[in-house]
Protein backbone atom coordinates (compact mmCIF):
# COMPACT_ATOMS: atom_id res chain seq x y z
CA UNK A 1 0.00 0.00 0.00
CA UNK A 2 2.79 2.36 0.86
CA UNK A 3 4.54 1.74 -2.44
CA UNK A 4 1.29 2.33 -4.37
CA UNK A 5 0.75 5.59 -2.54
CA UNK A 6 4.30 6.71 -3.37
CA UNK A 7 3.83 5.84 -7.04
CA UNK A 8 0.49 7.60 -7.14
CA UNK A 9 2.03 10.68 -5.57
CA UNK A 10 4.91 10.62 -8.07
CA UNK A 11 2.46 10.36 -10.97
CA UNK A 12 0.44 13.23 -9.60
CA UNK A 13 3.56 15.37 -9.29
CA UNK A 14 4.66 14.47 -12.81
CA UNK A 15 1.24 15.46 -14.19
CA UNK A 16 1.39 18.74 -12.27
CA UNK A 17 4.91 19.45 -13.61
CA UNK A 18 3.85 18.72 -17.17
CA UNK A 19 0.76 20.93 -16.79
CA UNK A 20 2.88 23.75 -15.35
CA UNK A 21 5.37 23.50 -18.22
CA UNK A 22 2.58 23.60 -20.80
CA UNK A 23 1.05 26.61 -19.06
CA UNK A 24 4.43 28.40 -19.03
CA UNK A 25 4.97 27.72 -22.73
CA UNK A 26 1.50 29.07 -23.55
CA UNK A 27 2.18 32.18 -21.46
CA UNK A 28 5.48 32.79 -23.26
CA UNK A 29 3.75 32.44 -26.63
CA UNK A 30 1.25 35.12 -25.57
CA UNK A 31 4.05 37.51 -24.53
CA UNK A 32 5.85 36.95 -27.85
CA UNK A 33 2.66 37.76 -29.76
CA UNK A 34 2.19 40.97 -27.76
CA UNK A 35 5.81 42.00 -28.40
CA UNK A 36 5.44 41.35 -32.13
CA UNK A 37 2.27 43.48 -32.22
CA UNK A 38 3.98 46.31 -30.35
CA UNK A 39 7.02 46.27 -32.67
CA UNK A 40 4.72 46.19 -35.72
CA UNK A 41 2.79 49.19 -34.38
CA UNK A 42 6.03 51.13 -33.81
CA UNK A 43 7.23 50.31 -37.32
CA UNK A 44 3.86 51.40 -38.74
CA UNK A 45 4.04 54.72 -36.88
CA UNK A 46 7.58 55.34 -38.16
CA UNK A 47 6.58 54.57 -41.75
CA UNK A 48 3.50 56.80 -41.49
CA UNK A 49 5.69 59.62 -40.14
CA UNK A 50 8.16 59.24 -43.01
CA UNK A 51 5.36 59.25 -45.60
CA UNK A 52 3.85 62.37 -43.99
CA UNK A 53 7.20 64.16 -43.99
CA UNK A 54 7.82 63.32 -47.67
CA UNK A 55 4.30 64.37 -48.68
CA UNK A 56 4.46 67.60 -46.66
CA UNK A 57 7.87 68.43 -48.09
CA UNK A 58 6.55 68.00 -51.63
CA UNK A 59 3.51 70.17 -50.93
CA UNK A 60 5.61 72.90 -49.30
CA UNK A 61 8.06 72.88 -52.22
CA UNK A 62 5.15 73.27 -54.66
CA UNK A 63 3.66 76.15 -52.66
CA UNK A 64 7.02 77.90 -52.45
CA UNK A 65 7.52 77.51 -56.21
CA UNK A 66 4.09 78.96 -56.99
CA UNK A 67 4.58 81.80 -54.50
CA UNK A 68 8.01 82.60 -55.98
CA UNK A 69 6.44 82.81 -59.46
CA UNK A 70 3.73 85.16 -58.19
CA UNK A 71 6.36 87.20 -56.32
CA UNK A 72 8.44 87.58 -59.50
CA UNK A 73 5.29 88.78 -61.29
CA UNK A 74 4.82 91.31 -58.46
CA UNK A 75 8.38 92.57 -58.93
CA UNK A 76 7.60 93.00 -62.62
CA UNK A 77 4.52 94.98 -61.62
CA UNK A 78 6.61 97.35 -59.50
CA UNK A 79 8.95 98.01 -62.44
CA UNK A 80 6.00 98.80 -64.71
CA UNK A 81 4.55 101.10 -62.03
CA UNK A 82 7.88 102.94 -61.84
CA UNK A 83 7.76 103.43 -65.61
CA UNK A 84 4.19 104.69 -65.38
CA UNK A 85 5.24 107.22 -62.73
CA UNK A 86 8.19 108.30 -64.90
CA UNK A 87 5.80 108.75 -67.84
CA UNK A 88 3.53 110.80 -65.54
CA UNK A 89 0.56 108.51 -66.10
CA UNK A 90 0.93 107.90 -69.83
CA UNK A 91 -0.15 104.24 -70.38
CA UNK A 92 1.61 103.97 -73.74
CA UNK A 93 4.66 102.12 -72.40
CA UNK A 94 6.18 100.11 -75.30
CA UNK A 95 5.77 96.33 -75.10
CA UNK A 96 3.30 96.34 -72.20
CA UNK A 97 -0.47 95.99 -72.49
CA UNK A 98 -1.12 98.37 -69.63
CA UNK A 99 -4.70 99.14 -68.66
CA UNK A 100 -5.60 102.15 -66.52
CA UNK A 101 -8.59 101.46 -64.28
CA UNK A 102 -11.57 103.28 -65.78
CA UNK A 103 -13.04 103.86 -62.32
CA UNK A 104 -9.82 105.48 -61.08
CA UNK A 105 -10.14 109.05 -62.44
CA UNK A 106 -7.56 110.61 -60.17
CA UNK A 107 -4.24 109.11 -61.30
CA UNK A 108 -3.04 112.60 -62.24
CA UNK A 109 -3.75 113.82 -58.70
CA UNK A 110 -1.94 110.85 -57.22
CA UNK A 111 1.12 111.52 -59.36
CA UNK A 112 1.35 115.28 -58.83
CA UNK A 113 -0.33 116.17 -55.53
CA UNK A 114 0.07 115.18 -51.93
CA UNK A 115 -2.50 112.81 -50.54
CA UNK A 116 -4.45 115.50 -48.70
CA UNK A 117 -5.05 117.37 -52.00
CA UNK A 118 -6.39 114.39 -53.94
CA UNK A 119 -9.92 114.55 -55.28
CA UNK A 120 -12.75 113.28 -53.12
CA UNK A 121 -13.16 110.12 -55.20
CA UNK A 122 -9.55 109.02 -54.94
CA UNK A 123 -8.97 105.70 -53.18
CA UNK A 124 -6.13 105.72 -50.65
CA UNK A 125 -6.96 102.44 -48.89
CA UNK A 126 -4.27 99.78 -48.59
CA UNK A 127 -6.52 97.24 -50.33
CA UNK A 128 -5.57 96.45 -53.92
CA UNK A 129 -7.18 94.00 -56.32
CA UNK A 130 -9.88 93.56 -58.92
CA UNK A 131 -12.14 96.34 -57.63
CA UNK A 132 -9.49 98.69 -56.24
CA UNK A 133 -6.46 99.54 -58.37
CA UNK A 134 -5.01 102.30 -60.54
CA UNK A 135 -3.70 100.05 -63.30
CA UNK A 136 -3.24 96.39 -64.20
CA UNK A 137 -1.57 94.23 -66.83
CA UNK A 138 -1.04 90.52 -67.55
CA UNK A 139 2.18 88.49 -67.56
CA UNK A 140 2.50 85.10 -69.26
CA UNK A 141 0.50 83.32 -71.93
CA UNK A 142 -1.01 79.87 -72.53
CA UNK A 143 0.01 77.08 -71.93
CA UNK A 144 1.85 78.75 -69.04
CA UNK A 145 0.02 80.37 -66.11
CA UNK A 146 -1.03 83.97 -66.65
CA UNK A 147 -0.55 86.35 -63.74
CA UNK A 148 -2.49 89.59 -63.47
CA UNK A 149 -0.71 92.38 -61.64
CA UNK A 150 -2.69 95.16 -59.96
CA UNK A 151 -0.99 98.34 -58.76
CA UNK A 152 -2.25 101.33 -56.78
CA UNK A 153 -0.69 104.48 -55.35
CA UNK A 154 -2.02 104.85 -51.81
CA UNK A 155 0.01 107.85 -50.61
CA UNK A 156 1.98 110.70 -52.17
CA UNK A 157 4.42 113.07 -50.50
CA UNK A 158 4.67 116.06 -52.82
CA UNK A 159 8.08 117.04 -54.17
CA UNK A 160 9.59 119.21 -56.90
CA UNK A 161 11.59 116.71 -58.90
CA UNK A 162 8.90 115.62 -61.35
CA UNK A 163 9.44 116.69 -64.96
CA UNK A 164 6.98 119.08 -66.61
CA UNK A 165 6.21 120.14 -70.16
CA UNK A 166 8.35 123.26 -69.94
CA UNK A 167 12.10 123.70 -69.68
CA UNK A 168 13.69 120.84 -67.78
CA UNK A 169 17.28 122.09 -67.96
CA UNK A 170 18.86 125.45 -67.24
CA UNK A 171 17.32 127.10 -70.30
CA UNK A 172 19.24 129.30 -72.72
CA UNK A 173 20.60 131.83 -70.23
CA UNK A 174 23.99 131.15 -68.71
CA UNK A 175 23.96 130.90 -64.98
CA UNK A 176 25.25 133.92 -63.12
CA UNK A 177 27.06 134.25 -59.85
CA UNK A 178 23.87 135.24 -58.06
CA UNK A 179 21.86 132.23 -59.20
CA UNK A 180 20.38 130.13 -56.42
CA UNK A 181 20.05 126.44 -57.18
CA UNK A 182 16.77 124.94 -56.07
CA UNK A 183 17.25 121.93 -53.82
CA UNK A 184 15.71 118.86 -55.38
CA UNK A 185 13.04 117.35 -53.18
CA UNK A 186 11.76 114.09 -54.67
CA UNK A 187 8.22 112.80 -54.68
CA UNK A 188 7.62 109.83 -52.40
CA UNK A 189 5.00 107.32 -53.51
CA UNK A 190 3.64 104.48 -51.40
CA UNK A 191 2.53 101.75 -53.79
CA UNK A 192 0.58 98.55 -53.21
CA UNK A 193 1.06 95.71 -55.73
CA UNK A 194 -0.94 92.48 -55.98
CA UNK A 195 0.02 89.70 -58.42
CA UNK A 196 -2.27 86.66 -58.75
CA UNK A 197 -2.77 83.68 -61.01
CA UNK A 198 -5.86 84.25 -63.16
CA UNK A 199 -6.82 80.56 -63.07
CA UNK A 200 -6.16 80.24 -59.33
CA UNK A 201 -6.35 83.54 -57.38
CA UNK A 202 -5.09 81.73 -54.26
CA UNK A 203 -1.64 81.82 -55.87
CA UNK A 204 -0.77 85.42 -55.16
CA UNK A 205 1.85 87.74 -53.75
CA UNK A 206 1.45 91.26 -52.36
CA UNK A 207 4.10 93.95 -52.15
CA UNK A 208 4.27 97.32 -50.42
CA UNK A 209 6.77 99.68 -52.04
CA UNK A 210 8.09 103.14 -51.13
CA UNK A 211 9.35 104.74 -54.35
CA UNK A 212 11.33 107.95 -54.60
CA UNK A 213 11.00 109.86 -57.86
The range of the structural domain enclosing residue 191 comes to: 2-163+183-212
| Mean pLDDT score of the chain | 78
179 SS3 class: coil
Report how many domains make up the chain.
1
Greater model confidence, 12 or 114: 114
pTM: 0.66
pLDDT at 180 over 50: yes
> Could you give the strand order of the β-sheet that contains 147-157, starting from the edge strand earlier in sequence?
99-100, 135-139, 147-157, 188-197, 200-212
Q: Tell me the per-residue pLDDT of 102-144, one tens digit each, with 9 for 90 and over.
A: 655 688 888 888 899 888 888 888 888 888 888 888 888 778 8
Percent pLDDT > 90 in the chain is 19
Q: Is residue 24 part of a domain?
A: yes
pLDDT digits (tens, 9 = 90+) for 45-78: 999 988 888 888 877 877 788 888 889 989 988 9
In a domain, 171, yes or no: no
Residues 6+ positions from 51 with CB-CB distance below 8 Å: none
Alpha helices in the chain (DSSP H): 2-86, 107-112
Q: What is the pLDDT of residues 17-41, one digit of tens each?
A: 556 555 555 555 567 777 888 899 9
Amino acid sequence: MTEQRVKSEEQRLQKFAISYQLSAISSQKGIALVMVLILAAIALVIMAGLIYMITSGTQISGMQKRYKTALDAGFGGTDVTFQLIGARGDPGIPGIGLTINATSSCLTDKLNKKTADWGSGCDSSMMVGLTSHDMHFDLGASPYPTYRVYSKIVDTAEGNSGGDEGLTGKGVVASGSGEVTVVSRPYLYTIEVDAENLSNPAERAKLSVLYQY
